Chain A
Amino acid sequence: MSLSLKKTPIPEQDPKIRTNNFSEVALGYTEEDAATEAARCLQCKTAPCRQGCPVEVDIPAFIGHIKKGDIQAAADNLKAVNSLPAVCGRVCPQEEQCEKFCVLGKKGEPVAVGRLERYAADYLLKNAKPATPLKYAADAQKVAVIGSGPAGLTTAGDLAKMGYKVTIFEALHMPGGVLMYGIPEFRLPKSVVQAEIQVLKEIGVAVQVNFVVGKTLTVDELMDEEGYDAVFIGTGAGLPYFMGVPGENHSGVYSANEFLTRSNLMKAYRFPEYKTPIYVGKKVAVIGGGNVAMDGARTALRLGAEKSYIVYRRSEKELPARAEEVHHAHEEGIIFQLLTAPIEVLGNEQGWVRGMKSVRMELGEPDASGRRSPVEIPGSEFEIEVDVIVVAIGQGPNPLIQATTKGLATNKKGNITADPETGATSKPGVFAGGDIVTGAATVILAMGAGKKAARAIDAYLKEKK
């Protein structure tokens, strides 16, 4: 039988329907879809796909189990190395990771590793039996993990499996970090995130929410007074950047963080049943071209906006968002206002947003990032009428821990300085990884950093003992 050059498509909600709900867009493979897709995997001995996976998933092995119809074995195989496979299967940019190296990609489309990962992980969640609690030695060393986003959860899971007593400290009232407050329900259901965290709790990871390290207790206090032998900092890129244009404090200008947190974590999309309000008005402009911007624009549409714009200063080719997200946004009717840069937020007498003054841009020479940099076209000012503006131009590091921890070196941007291979910081026993070190990146890169740090913490603690 000749195998398809194309990936087995994943069933999706119709764009016309899904813009009216917050349910997941991609519905996941059926048993038949998964079998068809798994059959495409050549089971290469050299497994080039594996080099693309920051969390070291044994891709041919888990797909091999699916091929044989043993989904449980596939899931167990995934879960042994990856604490969050149901998350990765949904939000990893596989096209830049595992799938980029797939041999099938040379002639056609690569194996849909992400979709298969999701299929196996969801099988586990659906048929979940409580995980067996791990047995810890009486004198097991204690590790504090600060932040419960992808980096922290990965470090915590790996260290627990190595026999360490791990406590995760989370500032918000729910664990999950950006997986809970940032990525919308329609891309990553919150029940999936909580189910993956539940497994960590079952194997013995303690999760302390409502705990702001740097305020409630400092890193030094955790180590000196609370008896933690090592600390991992995975506090992410939580500090929103604004544009710095006039009128940005008008009512109706949100940071993407605020807009998405209200909708995702606080469930404002179910207002007034959930009491946190959110306002979209009729026309929303989201500034930026990354995944967060796509999330913002698509959320605005679902919240009832009649028009939802992506306003980006470069062209479509330079959009930093994943192609799949851009495709979904197009399907849903998001209006791409490209080569446009806002220069002023216009307000009414009450100080509410009524519009946005922008200039048109053209592309000049490539900049440091290799993308062609936008140059303003003189005299091209124009106005767009909008009710709400969501600023999604990036986030910086939250400075709280850096400011309250003795001897923790940071770079000019305020990111924690850490060894890329081990996560070791300038402070003995303190490791860091994810966006707090690299600046805003992806879930999977944060997880990869968490995995490396767990290994380094293990080595550090073995030596310390």
Chain B
Amino acid sequence: MYRITSISDLAPSIKLFKVEAPLVAKKAQPGQFIILRTDESGERIPLTIADFDRNAGTITLIFQEVGASTIDLGKFIVGDSLLDVVGPLGKPTHIENFGTVVCIGGGIGIAPIFPIARGMKEAGNEVISIIGARSSSIIFWENEMAKASTELHVTTDDGSTGRHGLVTNVLQEMIDAGKKIGLVVAIGPVIMMKVVAELTRKYNIPTVVSVNPVMVDGTGMCGGCRVAVNDINQFACVDGPEFDAHKVDFDGLIARQRFYKTQEKETLDRCLGEGGDHECRCR
């Protein structure tokens, strides 16, 4: 079983779990993910490995309670066990010395960008990180990111903390100031990754994004996570999740992510008690 050893609330509706998964912890590398199930009726939920402790045999998972399944997950307490955890899945981030690497984490994307920033810094890069969210309450791991980076910028859409604006405003200024950037890694909402990609394309700055399409098995078996990269379908679970940002079909990705909106609302309503008589962990 996969026991939860600690939980912290990083922001309203954003939680951190440390979970015992020694086999995953032993092999995990930045950029990889796991798939978990809470219980017998649960979905297979893919989550990026935000951190890992090989000695303790634990992995760190960070998630936002946005739908029935993640709200369910949020009701677990320390000592509870997840029914299933499988991983590490996906290809690890390609880490080498690129000179200067800009690591951009938007919203919940701060979690997966953290081990990448740390890995890039350990590889000798100057790591300039930009983390952003709608508002200060959703920004987390500021200290961790500061430690993992050479330089850290924080932005919020409403200006409640850090710079008032978007992550791309900071990136644009850096480019305008003539900063030589070897690689940009951007993880966050698809629309943010798309905007970053459009910006860096103009300046030919190599850019990598980590995509999170709908996924079932995570081993290349279902093809649900396919995304066109350079007009050729790739499976995010085994060929990715990281791809060359300048070749990803972001619009296709956005469209496919919306596919289950109706059903997601149905389970959410049911989960929140509007669906009548049922058993749900989240009550």
A positions within 8 Å CB-CB of B: 171-173, 181, 209-212, 215-217, 238-240, 242, 248-252, 254-255, 257-258, 261-262, 266-267, 271-277, 279, 350-352, 398-400
Contacts and interface: CB of A to CB of B under 8 A. Distances in A.
Contact of B221 (A209, A217, A240, A275): A240
B121 interface: no
A249 B84 contact: no
5 contacts: A211-B23, A240-B221, A258-B216, A273-B278, A352-B255
A275 B42 contact: yes
A215 B42 contact: no
A258 B233 contact: no
B259 interface: yes
A446 B228 CA distance: 33
Given A217-B23, A255-B222, A276-B43, 8 more contacts: A172-B86, A249-B227, A251-B255, A261-B221, A266-B216, A272-B275, A275-B69, A400-B219
Given A171-B86, A216-B27, A238 B220 contact: yes
Contact of A254 (B224, B249, B251): B224
Interface string B240-283: 00000000010110011011100110110010000100100000
| Residue picked from A181, A217, A255, A275, most chain B C-beta under 10 Å | A275
Nearest to B23: A216
A266 B43 contact: yes
Nearest to B84: A173
A228 to B, nearest CB: 15
B86 A274 contact: no
A212 B69 CA distance: 23
Contact of B223 (A251, A252, A255, A350): A255
A258 B224 contact: yes
Contacts of A254: 224
A275 B43 contact: yes
Tell me what chain A mostly uses at the interface: helix, strand, loop, or mixed: loop
Contacts of B267: 271-272, 275, 277
Interface residues on B, range: 35 or more
Nearest to B257: A251
A272 B265 CA distance: 11
B255 A274 contact: no
Nearest to A272: B267
A275 B23 contact: no
Contact of A216 (B37, B87, B222, B266): B87
Contacts of B84: 173, 209-210
A172 B270 contact: no
Nearest to A218: B27
B118 interface: no
B89 A249 contact: no
Nearest to A395: B221
A70 B198 CA distance: 74
Nearest to A216: B23
A173 B37 contact: yes
B65 interface: no
A277 B23 contact: no
B104 to A, nearest CB: 26
User: Which one of A252, A257, A272 has the greatest number of beta carbons of chain B within 10 Å?
Assistant: A272
Interface in B12-54: 23-24, 27, 37, 41-44
A279 B264 CA distance: 12
Contact of B263 (A216, A250, A271, A399): A271
A211 B223 CA distance: 20
A89 to B, nearest CB: 27
A277 B221 contact: no
Contacts of B216: 258, 261-262, 266, 276
B85 interface: yes
Contacts of A212: 86-87, 89, 219
A361 to B, nearest CB: 25
B219 A238 contact: yes
A211 B255 CA distance: 32
A350 B87 CA distance: 33
A275 B27 CA distance: 30
Contact of B260 (A171, A240, A277): A277
B69 to A, nearest CB: 6
In the complex, the 3 A-B pairs of residues with the closest C-beta atoms, listed nearest first: A351-B255, A277-B263, A258-B222
- Most chain A CB inside 10 Å of its own CB: which residue of B27, B84, B219: B219
